[in-house]
Structures are given as C-alpha cells and as structure tokens.
C-alpha cells in the first residue's frame, strides 16, 4: 500500500477542504487533499450566491476551479475513500482503500453527515447495542453474534475489524445491493428492515415481512465514513452526534480540525470556505508552535 506524507492532511476536496489547502500552501506548508468524489458541491445545479462570480457556475465547474487553484499552488490531490483515522503519537494517519495518508495535523472537510439514525429506535439504542465504530466497540462483542448495517467498502472495513473479535457477522443491506467483496463467512441479508427490536437496549431487528432476528450488537456503516465516524476512531469527543469543536474548529484531539458542512452549521459554500480558512489558520499556528 502506498504512503503519502504532508504537513497538513485534508480529508475532502470540496470548498472547505480546498479553502483550507490554499491557506496552508500559502504558508509554505506541504498540503495533501484526499477526497472520494465531488461531494455536495458537484450536485449543485448553479451557484449564484458566492462572492465574485461574474455569472453563475455549476457546482461541478466551481469544484474544478477550486481544485485547479490548489494544484497550481502545489497541493497533492488524491482520489480515495478514507475509512479510518488515527493519531499514532506523532502524526495523523488516514487509511484509504488504496493508500495511507499521513499529516502532522489533519482537517476533516468531508461534507454533511449522512442521516444518522435511519431506522426507528436507533437513536435511543446508540451506546446500548448500537455502535458507529468497530475499532472502538468490537471488544465488547467478543465471540458474539453481530450485524453490520451497510453495503459498501466502509461496511466491509468495519466488518473486517469486527471479524477479528466477534463470533459471527451478518451484513444487513436493507434492500441495497452489495458493492464490495465480503468474506464468505459473512452472511448477507438483503431483506428490507422495518426497525430495531429491544426495550432501551438493542436485541435484534425486525424485517419488513414481520419476522425478527436476534443479534448481540448492531454496527452502523452506511455509505462512507463521515467526520464524526473518523473523529470517533481517532479518539475525539462528540456530543449528540455532533463533533465537539472549540473556537478554532479544533476537536478535543489537538491538531485535528473540522470545517464546512461536516461541522453541522449552515450548509453553504461561503460558510464552508470561511471555516476552511479558520481551521487552516489555526492548524498553521498549531504547527508553528509545536515544531
């Protein structure tokens, strides 16, 4: 697996990530941007309410202008999906599908989190049998029978982590097709889910056909890892599903920042760009003070 190194590792190359990169690059630092796709911006039909545009641009056009601006100033930009984030005592290490990415500081700019509690009963059972982090909680399910909710590479990553500890794992796709290659020992259950079973604590799931199945725990790994998932794995705190951030957009883990839609504020390009700048300026100061 390849290794990429930089002073500032930025996860996501949308407006927040690119804006952070521009500040890092102009401070003379090595900047590495890792993103899996065009994020929310690429879905915008026309951006008209951002400063300085002579005419509306499509989100995709604005995305490409931003990426080119960062490339021209010397950024490394890599396409990959990040699954994991840790702090190894001296730097942040993000694991992607194809490589590992290292940074002395890290700015998470991964866009708006997916819907956090997709099934009835899930919010109440979080921490009571429902988990969002295999590396954090697999220990509690040693030898037990767990389910993973998801269908893609991130669900595979979480399942592989669990298989080192648990007795058995079932993938619940909730009607979706599987888009990653799961080990044969993982049972794949594609039936649609109705909800979770259990009073206060998770006991199993109910399928749409009315049948129920018991599991000891449920790990949610829908879509790809978002900033909250990654912060949790790295050891930063969050509260009620939201990252805990200080005035510099720093998480509770020194050197780990968040910016843009993933901070849960107003979902606009201008805000994402502003937060990217704020996080980068704080990260630059942190790097200079902690050389």
Ligand X SMILES: Cc1cc2nc3c(=O)[nH]c(=O)nc-3n(C[C@H](O)[C@H](O)[C@H](O)COP(=O)(O)OP(=O)(O)OC[C@H]3O[C@@H](n4cnc5c(N)ncnc54)[C@H](O)[C@@H]3O)c2cc1C
Calculate ∠ Cα 265-37-70, nearest 5°.
80
Site for ligand X in 54-73 (CB under 6 A): 59
Among 8, 11, 25, 134, binds ligand X (CB under 6 A): 11
Judged by CB under 6 A, the stretch of 168-176, 183-191, 204-212, 260-268 that binds ligand X is 260-268
**What is the nearest approach in angstroms of ligand X to the Cβ of residue 260?**
2
Among 27, 40, 57, 277, binds ligand X (CB under 6 A): 40
Q: Is 100 in the site for ligand X (CB under 6 A)?
A: no
**What is the nearest approach in angstroms of ligand X to the Cβ of residue 291?**
28
Please state, in angstroms and as integers, the Cα–Cα distance from residue 114 to each residue in 54, 70, 119, following that order: 33, 27, 13
Q: Is 158 in the site for ligand X (CB under 6 A)?
A: no
Instruction: Say which residue the tokens 């996080």 belong to.
Output: 279
**What is the nearest approach in angstroms of ligand X to the Cβ of residue 251?**
16
| Best CA proximity match to 122, nearest among 233, 206, 189 | 206
Spatial contact of 207 and 191, defined as CB atoms under 8 Å apart: yes
Judged by CB under 6 A, the stretch of 37-45, 176-184, 202-210, 246-254 that binds ligand X is 37-45
Q: Which helix (H) or strand (E) holds 247?
A: none
The span from the CA of 175 to the CA of 138, in Å, is 25
Please state, in angstroms and as integers, the Cα–Cα distance from residue 105 to each residue in 89, 124, 274, following that order: 12, 34, 19
The span from the CA of 261 to the CA of 273, in Å, is 10
Q: Is 108 in the site for ligand X (CB under 6 A)?
A: no
> Which residues 6+ apart lie within 8 Å of 222 measured at CB?
114, 118, 149, 150, 154, 155
Q: Is 260 in the site for ligand X (CB under 6 A)?
A: yes
Among 2, 49, 179, 183, binds ligand X (CB under 6 A): 49
Among 6, 10, 12, 171, binds ligand X (CB under 6 A): 12
Nearer to ligand X, 193 or 256 (CB): 256
Site string for ligand X, 220-249 (x = CB under 6 A): ----xx------------------------
Nearer to ligand X, 5 or 37 (CB): 37
Spatial contact of 20 and 109, defined as CB atoms under 8 Å apart: yes
The token duo for 191 is 């039936």
Site for ligand X in 187-216 (CB under 6 A): none
Among 24, 111, 152, 217, binds ligand X (CB under 6 A): 111
Q: Which helix (H) or strand (E) holds 174?
A: none
Q: Is 39 in the site for ligand X (CB under 6 A)?
A: yes
Among 5, 37, 126, 189, binds ligand X (CB under 6 A): 37
224 burial type by CB count under 10 A (0-12 exposed, 13-18 middle, 19+ buried): buried
The token duo for 160 is 């592989």
Nearer to ligand X, 46 or 201 (CB): 46
Would you tell me which residues interact with ligand X (CB under 6 A)? 11-17, 34-37, 39-41, 43-44, 47, 49-50, 59, 81-82, 109-111, 224-225, 260-261, 267-270, 272
């Amino acid at each position: 697996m390849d290794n990429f190194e930089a002073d500032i590792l930025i996860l996501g190359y949308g407006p927040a990530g690119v804006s952070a990169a521009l500040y890092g690059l102009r401070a003379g630092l090595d900047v590495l941007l890792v993103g899996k796709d065009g994020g929310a911006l690429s879905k915008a039909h026309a951006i008209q309410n951002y400063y300085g545009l002579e005419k509306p641009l499509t989100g995709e056009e604005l995305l490409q202008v931003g990426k080119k601006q960062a490339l021209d100033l010397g950024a490394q930009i890599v396409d990959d999906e990040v699954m994991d984030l840790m702090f190894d005592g001296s730097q942040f290490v993000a694991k992607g599908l194809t490589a590992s990415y290292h940074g002395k500081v890290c700015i998470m700019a991964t866009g708006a989190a997916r819907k956090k509690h997709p099934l009835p009963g899930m919010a109440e059972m979080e921490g009571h049998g429902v988990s969002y982090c295999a590396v954090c909680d697999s220990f509690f399910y040693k030898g037990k029978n767990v389910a993973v909710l998801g269908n893609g590479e991130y669900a595979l990553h979480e399942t592989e982590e669990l298989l080192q500890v648990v007795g058995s794992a079932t993938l619940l796709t909730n009607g979706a097709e599987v888009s990653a290659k799961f080990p044969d020992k993982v049972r794949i259950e594609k039936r649609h889910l109705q909800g979770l079973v259990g009073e206060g604590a998770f006991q199993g799931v109910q399928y749409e056909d009315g049948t129920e199945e018991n599991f000891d725990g449920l790990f949610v790994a829908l879509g790809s890892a978002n900033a909250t998932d990654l912060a949790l794995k790295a050891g930063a705190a969050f509260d009620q599903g939201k990252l805990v951030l200080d005035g510099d957009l720093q998480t509770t883990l020194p050197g780990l920042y968040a910016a843009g839609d993933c901070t849960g504020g107003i979902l606009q390009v201008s805000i994402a760009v502003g937060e990217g700048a704020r996080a980068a300026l704080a990260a630059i100061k942190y790097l200079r003070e902690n050389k």
